[in-house]
Amino acid sequence: MEIKYFKLNELKKNIKSLKKSINFKKNLIEKWNKITSTKYTRFFTITSIIQCITIIIFQSFIFFQNSNLYSDWDNNNKTYNAANHTDNCKNLDLPKFPYLTLDNVIFIVFQVFQLYFCFNAVLTEHIVQIITINVFNFGWSIYGFVQIYEVTTVSYELDDLANCIQSSDQTLHRSQDHKILLILDVLCTVLVFLFSIAVAFLSFKLYDQFGWNIYKKFGGDPKMQVIHKNYLAFLMLLKINLFATVLFLLASILISRMDRFTAIIPASELIFHYLATALVLFLEIVGYKLVEKEYKTGMIIFLVLWLAVIADFILVLVVLIYVFKLIGSFWIFGSVLVIVLILNSILLAIFGIKVLINFGKGLKDLRDKKPGPSEVPLNQLWNLDYEPNKMVIDT
């Protein structure tokens, strides 16, 4: 009896495992079919992969060049004590170097996120996300010019320090490395801009394709389409906020460990920021489930707690401005990132209210609706002889 019971349990486990394997393969096939459904989805995906790999390679080279320059300055600063410097040399600090390497790391991590964002937009047919991808791409193109400006400025400052100290150490003054670094930055900016144009063209085609698919699912009701777009916008803002928060958390941990910031940044602010970040990570997960299941009470609690997140980002910006004023330096990208977080958090709260108001208006039922047999496949859209229930063998 026990042997039969044991065999029965083993059989159930095997069947359960087989079902999981079949579902996994089925999901993979469905995702692959979506990615390869049209030439535009294929080109969009391939272009995104090439962009990710290319920009990561360029930014890695730039990161190592920036690290070498900072290492040269740091080693020289340790070698020469204050007594050996003139008053002018004491003021030739290079606080921008740590920021430049942080920018490179953030850019690299962002490319990975952008690749996920692109795949997710295709798989979910997310129109709002497609538009946001283009905003990100062109935004990075513009920021590329800021990086070029920062690298040029730092190179001149390093030259001034070398000339002031009149060091015989050749590692301090690397004009050739400066030129290579500048060339890499310019090339990377140009490449990002070219990729932005290519992705924008493909996005325009995908916008039409996804728009039609959404129309087939939600019909021609303009109110329902607005409700659906608000829902998509809220989910997209959740993803952006989660990524940007984690990114800034890593940067803030690295910066807070630097000697020049340790004594300046208030410990209470750091503790509040880390607690607020933990709250963000929790709310991100909960928020997705709340709008998916349309829980009104939970969504109200979410929005109330989200006010603490907005307050934290505003406080971080104030502290950053205070710290930069004290050390006589400025991290452009860090400030832009915090401003983006503030704006994104405010927008998320606004769209959260819109989504909450639209609970119970039929969106959940339409989202859960599976395609019926009467729906015409996209590849048969212009086939006037197509019959939904007609078997292929009948043609």
> Do residues 195 and 263 both lie within one domain?
no
Nearest to 186 by CA among 51, 47, 62, 332: 62
pLDDT for 196 equals 93
pLDDT for 6 equals 56
> Do residues 40 and 155 both lie within one domain?
yes
Domain stop point among 179, 199, 217: 217
pLDDT for 394 equals 35
On whether residue 302 sits in a domain, the answer given is yes
> Do residues 64 and 184 both lie within one domain?
yes
Nearest to 229 by CA among 253, 256, 207, 200: 207
> Do residues 313 and 332 both lie within one domain?
yes
Burial of 374 (0-12, 13-18, 19+ CB in 10 A): exposed
On whether residue 391 sits in a domain, the answer given is no
Q: Do the Cβ atoms of 277 and 309 come closer than 8 Å? A: no
The pLDDT averaged over each successive group of 10 residues in the chain (395 residues) is 59 65 73 84 93 93 83 63 53 61 87 90 84 88 84 74 58 64 89 93 87 68 80 88 83 68 67 81 87 89 92 87 76 85 93 90 70 43 39 35
Domain stop point among 199, 217, 235: 217
On whether residue 241 sits in a domain, the answer given is yes
> Do residues 37 and 166 both lie within one domain?
yes
> Do residues 185 and 290 both lie within one domain?
no
Q: Count up the domains in the chain and report the number.
A: 2
On whether residue 7 sits in a domain, the answer given is no
> Do residues 142 and 174 both lie within one domain?
yes
> Do residues 249 and 359 both lie within one domain?
yes
On whether residue 2 sits in a domain, the answer given is no
Specify the residue for token string 């490395």.
Answer: 177
> Do residues 181 and 266 both lie within one domain?
no
Domain stop point among 164, 194, 217: 217
% the chain with pLDDT above 70: 70
pLDDT for 379 equals 42
On whether residue 389 sits in a domain, the answer given is no
HEC string of the chain equals CHHHHHHHHHHHHHHHHHHHHHHHHHHHHHHHHHHCCCHHHHHHHHHHHHHHHHHHHHHHHHHHHHHHHHHHHHHHHHHCCHHHCCHHHHCCCCCHHHHHHHHHHHHHHHHHHHHHHHHHHHHHCCHHHHHHHHHHHHHHHHHHHHHHHHHHHHHHHHHHHHHHHCCCCCCCCCHHHHHHHHHHHHHHHHHHHHHHHHHHHHHHHHHHHHHHHHHHHHCCCHHHHHHHHHHHHHHHHHHHHHHHHHHHHHHHHHHHCCHHHHCCCCHHHHHHHHHHHHHHHHHHHHHHHHHHHCCHHHHHHHHHHHHHHHHHHHHHHHHHHHHHHHHCCCCHHHHHHHHHHHHHHHHHHHHHHHHHHCCCCCHHHHHHCCCCCCCCCHHHCCCCCCCCCCCHHHC
> Do residues 137 and 283 both lie within one domain?
no
| Domain residue limits at 330 | 219-366
pLDDT for 236 equals 86
On whether residue 374 sits in a domain, the answer given is no
On whether residue 289 sits in a domain, the answer given is yes
pLDDT for 26 equals 74
Query: pTM of the prediction?
Result: 0.74
pLDDT digits (tens, 9 = 90+) for 120-145: 888 888 788 888 889 888 888 888 88
> Do residues 223 and 324 both lie within one domain?
yes
> Do residues 74 and 211 both lie within one domain?
yes
pLDDT digits (tens, 9 = 90+) for 181-235: 888 889 999 999 999 999 999 998 888 888 777 766 666 677 887 888 888 889 8
pLDDT for 200 equals 92
